[in-house]
Chains A and B, each alone.
Chain A
Amino acid sequence: MSDIRHSLLRRDALSAAKEVLYHLDIYFSSQLQSTAVPIVDKGTLELVEEFIFHVPKERGVLPKRMSSLQELQLLEIMCSYFQEQSKDAVRQVIFSALFSPQGNKADDSRMAMLGKLVSMAVAVCRVPILECAALWLQRTHAIYCVRLAKVLVDDYCSLVPGSVQTLQQIFSASPRFCCQFITAVTALFDMSSDDLIPPNDLLEMVVTWIFDDPRLTLITFLNTPISANLPVGCLDLTPLVGLVRWCVKAPLAYKRNRKPALTNGHISKLSKEEKEEEGVGDRDLLYSKLHLSILQVLMMLQVHLTEKNLFGRLGLLVFDHMVQLVEELSRLVDELNPLNATKETELSLDRLAQALQVAVASGALLCTREDLRSLCSRLPHNNLLQLVLSGPVQQQPPHSAFQPGFYPHIHTPPLGYPARPTPPAHSQHPAHPPHPPHSALPAHPVQPFLPGMAFPYRPIR
């Protein structure tokens, strides 16, 4: 290994980086011939950090820096390398060796390079890189995922108007990447502050994707073995919770966002209001559309769970996440003067009630009506929420011809996308502090949902 290092030290930055890539290719290709799970050893990682990310190995040695042009050349080399490497396994392990955060000082430049590479892959539509990035987004701690998402959002939704089209087209090239990207952006933009409201372009793109094909949100879930242990702190399997958060909080979050504008100077107030006059109706409809799509996805999920005999056994929406969402909502309601935001509060609560009801009915959220009641006890009154919390009134014996059962999908193809080759289960757990668990309402037993037992509820057909 030190031989390689010595020869690399003599080269210029770009050719050294190329040489490292070449070395990695040979190294992992040969490893994969004998073992299914190649080992990324320390020496290799060090070579990568020193010659690709230019972190000095020894104190006092000035790292060779690449010029911007050289960096661009290196990105191009990487791009074409991943494009041309035909073996998925080799590609994935090299991508991981390059870009898995190590919890050291190289991570910053690692993330910077990753951001540039993925952004470039989006621009020139390099499917293999997007697929590797999708896998990376699945295995890496959410903190890093959010960082990557931010780079892409900045590049495509903020800097150049209209460039969102490029990102939007990725939908057909790599749905897996899109799914993970949505999960990452919902984690990034959690509407906890005005800055964390999703940009309009991004929102519009996400809604278009999901509305066109709601199955998109389930791709990662459907392609992950149920038994697989997810790395600690990584993103959710689906963007559903994040999307529910968007829809539920949006009416109030935008309302809050508008408030400071009222206190601003006269001119800015007018212009701000004018702007909103145009966009507000459309944006409300976007959230409405998104919300409907989520409910539809949940209904699809029900069919899937039933077919796989998982209904009531696999909660895709974690109850704790709901607890967190309800808390956020409650805080937001408190923050706004309820009198000023009656309409918005109603809409938020309607959506929450709908999401909870459909999630429970579809088996995505495993809990009892009782759990829901305590969950929402602090929220203001809302008719629909009340109806959902108390559950349906026991009806007269159902129609004689009525057969309880699931709504069968009559012509829709079974859920799922072409199966992805199973990735080598290499697990490089990043050495970062574990994500703190949610602590509010700690003792919620996750009960399997049993129809017609705990409360008069029947699964929807």
Chain B
Amino acid sequence: MSAQGDCEFLVKRARELVNEDPWAAKAWLITARTLYPSDFNIQYEMYTIERNAERTASAGRLLYDMFVNFPEQPVVWREISVITAALRNDCQDKHAQFLRGLFETLPGRVQCEMLLKATEQCFNTLEKAEMLLLLLRRFPESVVQHGVNLGETLLEAESIEDQESPVNCFRKLFVCDVLPLIINNPDMRLPASLLYKYMHKAAEFYISYVTRSPTVESQLQGSQDGGSLKSPSARGSQRYVIEGLTEKSSQIVEPWERLLEILSVVGVRCEWQMDKGSRSYGEILQRMKELARYLGSFDAEAHIRYRNQVVYSVMLVFFRSAYQYVSTIQPMLFQGHSSPGAIPWILVEDLAAVYSDADIDRNKHIHKKRKLADGREKTMSSDDEEGSGKGRGRHILVNKAELPTWADMLESFRAARESWELLHSQETLENEFKRICSSWKTDSWLWLRIFLTDMIIYQGQYRKAISSLHQLASFQAPQQQVSSQGSLEHLRALIQLASCHYTLGEYRMTCEKVLEVMSGLVPQPQDLGRTAEEVSRVRTKFRKGTDLRFLPCTSKAIMPFCLQLMLACFKLRAFTDNRDDLALGHVIVLLQHDWPQGEGLFLKAVDKICQQGSFQYENFFNYITNIDMLEEFAYLRTTEGGKVQLELLPNQGMLIKHHTVTRGITKGVKEDFRLAMERQVSRCGENLHTVLHRFCINEKIILIQSLP
């Protein structure tokens, strides 16, 4: 009998026995192995029995034995690749767990060799990288040899495979998995240039990851919800998978904290001016301001080192703060930012002073006085500590109740602005920062543009803000079809444009934008309780300079703002010394909103009419339904009221001319007016929002034309 024949006989006997008597089968194989210790099939059979029975320890011993003695056997490699595959994926089934347990029983040296050899046999870059990563994680000493190479391979793969976004599987593995191993390994010697490159790649990845827009899948889900399902589970269950990775490995917890960790490790390695203990983002900014001040006093080498420290540190503070700011005012912009029911907010000029007549001479007119509701100080102002320079120290009004995270948001806004300013305070910093930004193509980041626009508005650079808003519109064009959010976003830009034009005194442009907004709105049902709340919210104290405020981006909040903006445009024109009945009429129509906020102004207008002795506004009966106003006008016609000649009916002017010929007919005119008044009183219950909305839509052309 040949040796091979013997072995075949022994294995055959074991196979025959394995089902009815596995113990006997094993006894046969043990015997066989003592006879033919170098026969592979005997040992493989032993291994198979143990593996099929999922006996971890004994299967591990046998696998070890085969790995050491039969390293060239393809069957062994097939086995090892099955095991390493189980190690890489996060599958929780029993067999995968067994395979992982099996691997754990092997001695470290063998695990290391096994992974290395398995890596060599991998042709797919991603798989290969995952395999090497298993190795590096388990055996820190292997990082020195393989770490940097693996990193470079991943970064190369990214460009070879033409990955559009920095959030891709290669970068994820590099930044989240490989990089920490490399930079935290004390035995690694890394040149500063490499570290900066890594920092650069890591920052780009994390920032892009955090600010990634919602995937199509979750958007569909979102639109199906139709806003009615606002439970956290519906929003929180947004799945996000980086192509090529599993869902689990696509999730990154606390990305900003991880980025900060990388920054501090790189900082230590690059010999930055660090101090002990971990710093928060807020503290970093403060420290970098100080360091930046002395930047000029360092020699060339140190200058570059500390310049990099300032740029990289402040840059992170900037992007993080800007992100946090935008995620509050535009929560739906980002994937995974689950704040159910969160509404967007718009930074605009505060128009609380619009009803004030401070800019117009107060004229006493005794009439039944209404007690104005006491405006409670329910609003918040953010005073800038360093209240110097243009655009600084502006107040931003926020409704605390509607925006619970107002303090954090204002703080993020401030930190982002200050970091931006710091980054642009010196040419050397600015150049480096611009270089980084252009390599990341930050110009194409919608969210960043949103922040920058708000920052510019805050700085009071309205001309610049307008061009920034036009840029924003170009981002949104392709987005608009995607969701309804796009159109709200569109309104948002229009409102900000209107607000900017207003502050620049460009009333006609303001009005155009406002009317464009109005045409996109549906009038809300009038809510009396709501108006009362509005009244109490608006501050009555007149402040010098202009304030900003956050306006909720909802139809309900936008329409009142638009009406106020229009009022503001017409107010000055209406009260100039030159007579402009049309503007005055528009003002009176607009003053109906939020009545009696505008009572003072209305009385002022009445004064003006009395002085003029006549008033012509043919739209009067179309849009004025306020009972107080109607009463006042009825009174003006009487002798006691001064017998003011009112031409409020369409074409009445013509009629009056006609009537002067025959005196009897004037009586008919009086009758018309009385009837119109009576009819108008019956309209008092109409939804004012509908009336004013109709006013804006129908009189659009006349409104725009009546402004210079």
Contact = CB atoms under 8 A, between A and B. Distances in A.
A395 B30 contact: no
A411 interface: yes
B34 A292 contact: no
B641 interface: no
B53 to A, nearest CB: 13
Contact of A410 (B27, B61, B69): B61
Contacts of B105: 410-411
B69 A292 contact: no
A388 B36 CA distance: 11
Nearest to B30: A295
Contact-size category for A: 35 or more
A394 B3 contact: yes
B628 interface: no
Given A288-B21, A383-B9, A402 B38 contact: yes
Interface string A394-427: 1110110111100100110000000000000000
B395 to A, nearest CB: 70
A292 B27 contact: yes
A403 B21 CA distance: 32
B35 A392 contact: yes
A289 B26 CA distance: 10
A362 interface: yes
Contacts of B13: 384
A404 B30 contact: no
A285 B21 contact: yes
Given A288-B24, A393-B6, A299 B69 contact: no
A176 interface: no
Given A393-B1, A393-B6, A410-B107, A361 B34 contact: yes
Given A291-B27, A292-B23, A461 B35 contact: no
Interface stretch (A115-123, A148-156, A350-358): A350-358
B107 A288 contact: no
A367 to B, nearest CB: 15
A460 B21 contact: no
Nearest to B34: A361
B71 A401 contact: yes
Contact of B38 (A296, A351, A395, A407): A395
A393 B547 CA distance: 100
A392 B23 contact: no
B31 A354 contact: yes
Interface string B1-30: 111001001100100000001011011101
B21 A461 contact: no
Chain B facing A: main interface SS: helix
B413 interface: no
Contacts of A357: 31, 34-35
A79 B57 CA distance: 42
A392 B3 CA distance: 7
A296 B30 contact: yes
Contacts of B31: 295, 353-354, 357-358, 384, 388
Contacts of B69: 399, 401-403, 461
Contact of B27 (A295, A391, A392): A295
Contacts of A295: 27, 30-31
A396 B34 CA distance: 17
B319 interface: no
B287 interface: no
B448 to A, nearest CB: 55
A292 B61 contact: no
A357 B27 CA distance: 11
A343 interface: no
Given A288-B24, A353-B31, A461 B6 contact: no
Contact of A401 (B3, B10, B70): B70
A179 B38 CA distance: 35
Contact of B23 (A285, A388, A461): A285
A294 B30 CA distance: 11
Nearest to A458: B37
Given A393-B2, A410-B107, A292 B24 contact: yes
Contact of A358 (B24, B34, B60): B34
Contacts of A392: 3, 6, 35-36
B23 A395 contact: no
A288 B27 contact: yes
A246 to B, nearest CB: 14
Contacts of A262: none
B30 A358 contact: yes
B46 to A, nearest CB: 11
A392 B4 CA distance: 10
A387 interface: yes
Residue of B26, B31, B34 with most chain A CB atoms under a 10 A cut-off: B34
B337 interface: no
A288 B3 contact: no
A395 B3 contact: yes
Contacts of B33: 460
B30 A299 contact: yes
A200 to B, nearest CB: 18
B497 to A, nearest CB: 72
Contacts of B57: 411
B106 interface: yes
A388 B21 contact: no
Contact of A460 (B1, B26, B37, B70): B37
A407 B23 CA distance: 21
Contacts of B10: 384, 387
A351 B30 CA distance: 12
Nearest to A409: B61
Contacts of B60: 410-411
A291 B34 contact: no
Nearest to A354: B31
Contacts of B2: 393
Interface in B27-51: 27-28, 30-31, 33-38
Contacts of A461: 37, 65, 69
A344 to B, nearest CB: 14
Contacts of B28: 350, 354, 384
Contacts of B6: 387, 392-393
B385 interface: no
A248 to B, nearest CB: 12
A410 B64 CA distance: 9
Interface in B98-116: 105-107
Contacts of B71: 401
Nearest to A290: B23
A288 B23 contact: yes
A206 B144 CA distance: 54
Interface in A325-365: 350-351, 353-354, 357-358, 361-362
Nearest to B106: A410
B34 A407 contact: no
A414 to B, nearest CB: 16
Contacts of B427: none
B35 A388 contact: yes
A399 B34 contact: no
Residue of B10, B28, B37, B64 with most chain A CB atoms under a 10 A cut-off: B37
A396 B2 CA distance: 11
Contacts of B34: 357-358, 361-362, 460
Contacts of B24: 288, 291-292
A351 to B, nearest CB: 8
B38 A292 contact: no
Contact of A289 (B1, B9, B23, B35): B23
11 contacts: A284-B21, A295-B27, A296-B30, A299-B30, A392-B6, A399-B38, A399-B69, A401-B72, A459-B37, A460-B34, A461-B37
Interface of A: 284-285, 288-289, 291-292, 295-296, 299, 350-351, 353-354, 357-358, 361-362, 383-384, 387-388, 391-396, 398-399, 401-404, 407, 410-411, 458-461
Given A285-B23, A358-B30, A410-B60, 16 more contacts: A284-B21, A291-B23, A291-B27, A292-B30, A299-B30, A358-B34, A387-B9, A387-B35, A393-B6, A395-B3, A396-B3, A401-B69, A410-B61, A411-B60, A460-B34, A461-B69
